Structures are given as structure tokens and as C-alpha cells.
Amino acid sequence: MTTVYRFSFGPWNIHSGADNFGPEVRAEFSFADKLEFYKQLGFDGVQFHDDDVVSNADDPWVKQEAEAKTMRRILDERGLEAEFVAPRLWEHPLTVDGAITANSAEARRYALERSKRAVDIANILGCRNIVLWPAREGTYLREAKDPVVVVSRLVDWINALLEYDKNIRILGEMKPNEPMDHAYVPTTGHFLGLASLTVDPSRVGALIESAHTILAGLDPSDEMAYALYHKKLWSVHLNDQNGLKFDEDKSFGVVDLRRAFNQVWVLERNGYGQNGEFIGLDVKALRTQSKETSTKHLRNSRAIFLRLVDLCRTLDVAKVEDLRAARDYEELDLMIVNHLLGS
């Protein structure tokens, strides 16, 4: 069965270019303008934080509900689909030292109640995926928290949401560091182990981001393969990364084309996308781009992915198998490079 891929990104992927060391360099597009780009660029899915949907996730529910219904109408009118909702638990003053894993009981209560509202928002948008990006679920120093208790708090949070709504799924988007120095659950393998402790492991899976995996010193295609074997790869954030430093969110395939090829290869060969999964991007425009050219990173990443799909589909698989059987990995090495070079 030939997969017809669908693509998604989050509205934060079109941005003004501000970073930790400098201000905005281009005018921000309005949210309405951003939504207009989706179909123009070949995307069908929208990734949301809770406060992308509502103006203030701490407002009374009656206001949030009305705003979520308005967003659903806007999506329906444009033929767009909400892929997931992620509660933004890392910016509130209460969660400066973590939300789900905080020592503060007040912070943990806030995190759970906000997460339940994110579930309610997702239901209105017609999606069942809730993403946990554990931004501050870590520590600056080991002695600050009890690491065993922290893991139990993560399991308790997942269980509370699974019991709150019997239809939703929790997708862990793990990252080893940043903004905290050390994450308590740094990789997909860690998270899937934790998922096995929950009240319904069948509804706990993974969203794997290329750059997060690279920051952990791992290869994204291996992480994806691991999750695919467990039937737990429910979304991806494809991008690229220059080494072990900060999370760069570069356009997919622009740093290491062979690494990108191997991600596409493992997705293509294992039926990813055939059950409605999106090819999600989490890429940022270079700061040097003008406002008028600040969506090219999305266009380019999608085009690179589809070109790599073509290369996967035209690779001589029988020859690959023969070289594997012969353990002639030098020849296999050259074969892959030549294929990527178009020769």
C-alpha cells in the first residue's frame, strides 16, 4: 500500500525571528494569516498549544469553550484538522520549577486542572491527541527533587487524564534538556517504559522530534523504529540539528541529508501514515529571512521529505538485502550515497 502523506505544523513555526539574544526582526503575521498559509503550503493539520486556541488558558471555562468552538468553525471552513493539543505548562509563574513534577502541590494542582481543560479543548476541536512536552519537568541540580517521586508524579498525571477522558491518547515528546538542565524522562524509551505503568498503556505513545533525539546523542531513525515496533509512534516533529547544543529546529534534511533519508526510510517501510498519522514539522525560519520569505522553511521541509520518499521508493531493496547478507557494508555505504547523489 502506497502511503499518501499528510503534513502538519504549529502556528509558532511562523514567527518574528526573536531569540534569546535579539529582538524581533520581522513583523508577526496575525493568527488568521498564519492559518491561510496551511493549504497554500500543502498542509492539512494544525498542531496547537491550548493557548493557541484560546486567548487565556486561565480564563473561566465558559469563555474558553466559546473560543474553542470558534476555532473549530474556522478550521472546518478551511478544511483543516487539529492534530493535537499540548497544554503549555511551562510559562506560568507557578510552574517555574516544574508543573507535573513540581515540589509545590499548588503547582501540580494547577498543571492537572489546566491539562484537563486542554482535553476539553481537544474534544471541541475533534482531536484525541494530547501532547506532553515536559519542558520544566526536570531540574537544575540533582538534589532539588526526589527522582523516584518525580516519576510517580508523571504517572499520576497521565493516569488522571486517562481516567478523565476514556478516548484521549497521551503522546510524550521527550527531550533530554532545555529549558531545564536535566529532564527526568529524557528519551522515548524512558517514556514508553513509564507508559507501561499507567492504567491504560494502549493510550500512551510517542511523538518523536528529530532534534530532541539528536540532543540525546541518539539517531532519530532508531528512536522511530523502536516506537514503531511497539506500535507507539503516533506523531513526529521532523527537523534538523547541528550537533549537541541548543534545540535549533532547522529545516528537515538541511544539515544531514542521509540522517533525514533514514528517518523517511523507516517511516515509509513501516507504514507510518497509513492510520491517519501526520508528518509533523517543527521548524523555524532563519532569523535572516524577511517577512515575505519567512515560510520557505515549511515549504522546503515538506519538499525535501517528499523527495526523500521518492528516493526510498526507487532504492533497489533487493540489492540492499544482498549486500546485507554478504556483509558488504562498504558497498552498501557507497550505494546509499550514490542514490542520494542521484547517480
Catalytic residues: 49, 52
Cis peptide preceding 176, ω within 30 of 0:
no
Helix (H) or strand (E) holding 183: strand 182-183
Question: Residue 236: which of 279, 266, 199 has the closest Cα?
Answer: 279
What DSSP string describes 100-143? TT-S-HHHHHHHHHHHHHHHHHHHHHT--EEEE--TTSEESSGG
d(CA 295, CA 299): 7
d(CA 42, CA 295): 12
Compute the CA torsion angle 91, 94, 97, 101 (nearest 10 deg).
-100
Neighbours of 175 (CB within 10 A): 24
CA torsion sign, 106 to 108 to 110 to 112?
negative
